[in-house]
Amino acid sequence: MTLTHDDPEVASRASAATFDEVLAELAERRDEFREQRYVSPEFVSRLKELGLYRAATPEQFGGETMPPADFLKAIERISTVDGSTGWVASFGSQLVYLGSLPLESQAELYADGPDVVFAGALFPIGQATPTERGFTVNGRWKFASGCMAADTICVGIPGDDSTSGKPRGALMPPHRLEIIQEWDVVGMQGTGSFDLVARDVEVDREWTFIRGGESVVDEPLYRYPAITYAAQSLSVVSAGVARAALDFAEEVGSGRASITGAPKLVDRAYYRAGIAEAEAALRSARAYFYEAADEAWETLVGGGLVSDGQNAHLRLSAAHLARVSADVVHKIVSLSGTAAIYRDHPLPALLGDALVPQEHAFLSPAMYDAAGAVFMGQPATVPAFR
């Protein structure tokens, strides 16, 4: 019998090989991306080949829905090689953010194919002067991760009475914006999280949407809480970075001899115990994270809706994973001795990458309070919790 790529087993092996090839290329280019401060567009095209930028495209426009846990595991795997690239790839999930964009506009957005690279810079809220057709947009926005390779970019503009006070997002092609390459940071150096500037850009009302508004796409993934999914997609980058640090500590760092003649790290009880504690902490937080994602998805594909309690677990597990991951990398650095203080050592870069996700507003310590309030039957204590 002749096997073709129509056979699921062969297709799976081919997909795995492609993923491995992309990761091998990433390992060779991650320093390049950090130095230039963004992931090159041609490499983002390689990520498209993995299906990451059609995983959240509506199926009616050619998307190939990937269950959230599967997508998140792919981002985690990329982040184990390079956190910045994992961060940029994670935005493949955020097309669900556009669920309240008019269907006609979505049809036009995906007219050339389902692999659309999205970037957004939502704060500070810009100016939007109403016109007959829409808005004249002006402003400067920060943190436009992945904008150098984006096919479409969203900027934040004010809401009004028609949006119940919720802000709007305005979509526009990248060439209508100026990209200011200001990004001098200690971690996630290659994300290209540059500033965007709009000067009297005309945006039709049909290319704006209410952020957090009701989706017009009737598919399970578009009933998954959009902001929550964004939070998960950013958090899981931390887990990949922490995994890289642990792999280094176990496979490489454990064999290092001390310049003082002291026992190798692997021969020190505190080092072995510390690494074991870090493994337990990361695996526990990761298990909670994926358990919550799987439970919510099973509810949706079964025809239900994600409950407030389920959403609280999604938000809590995401914030918790980011913090535990950062703690794990910090612990490994503290166990690793003077070698880890050198700039050419792998751990300082991993530590910088691990520190960044937990600082994102979606993953702040306030999520613990908000989740606790929901668990006890109270309203969430932060806005945009779901």
Answer whether residue 313 is part of any domain. yes
What range defines the domain where residue 164 resides? 118-210
pTM (2 d.p.):
0.93
Kindly give, in sequence order, each residue whose CB lies less than 8 Å from that of residue 179, ignoring residues fewer than 6 positions away: 144, 147, 148, 194, 195, 196, 197
Q: How many CA atoms lie within 13 A of 354 on its CB side?
A: 29
Q: Looking at the structure, tell me whether residues 228 and 369 fall in a common domain.
A: yes
H or E stretch covering 144: strand 134-144
Let me know whether 329 and 232 are in one domain.
yes
Last residue of a domain, one of 98, 132, 157: 98
Burial grade of 366 (CB within 10 A; 0-12, 13-18, 19 or more)? middle
Same domain? For 13 and 152 the reply is no
Amino acid making up residue 317 = S
Based on the domain organization, do 142 and 74 belong to the same domain?
no
Is the pLDDT reported for residue 9 higher than 70?
Answer: no
- The residue type of 75 is I
Length of the chain: 386
Residue 383 domain-assigned?
no
Identify whether 272 is part of a domain: yes
- Whether 13 and 75 map to the same domain: the answer is yes
* Domain-embedded: residue 104: no
Nearest one of 270, 277, 269, 275 to 249, comparing CA atoms: 275
* Same-domain pairing of 232 and 312: yes
Of 284 and 265, which is predicted with more confidence? 284
CATH number for position 125: 2.40.110.10
Residue 3, pLDDT above cutoff 50: no
- Do residues 233 and 365 both lie within one domain? yes
- What are 275-326's pLDDT values in tens digits? 999 999 999 999 999 999 999 999 999 999 999 999 999 999 999 999 999 9
Task: Give percent above pLDDT 90 in the chain.
Answer: 84
Q: For residue 102, what pLDDT is reported?
A: 96
C-alpha distance from residue 177 to each of 94, 188, 193, 202, 204 (Å): 20, 23, 14, 11, 16
Q: Are residues 197 and 242 in the same domain?
A: no
248 domain residue, yes or no: yes
User: What is the tally of structural domains in the chain?
Assistant: 3
pLDDT band at 2 (very low <50, low <70, confident <90, very high): very low
3, part of any domain: no
pLDDT of residue 255: 59
Considering the domain boundaries, does residue 385 fall inside one?
A: no
Judged by average pLDDT, the poorest of 22-31, 32-41, 255-264 is 255-264
- CATH code for the domain of 262: 1.20.140.10
Same domain, 127 and 18: no
Cα separation, 346 vs 249, whole angstroms? 10
Q: Which of 257, 289, 383 is nearest to 69 (CA)?
A: 289
pLDDT at 150 over 60: yes
Q: Tell me: do 185 and 231 sit in the same domain.
A: no
Q: Are residues 311 and 354 both part of a single domain? A: yes
Same domain, 371 and 252: yes
- Read off the amino acid at residue 279: E
Of 15-24, 144-153, 246-255, where does mean pLDDT reach its minimum? 246-255
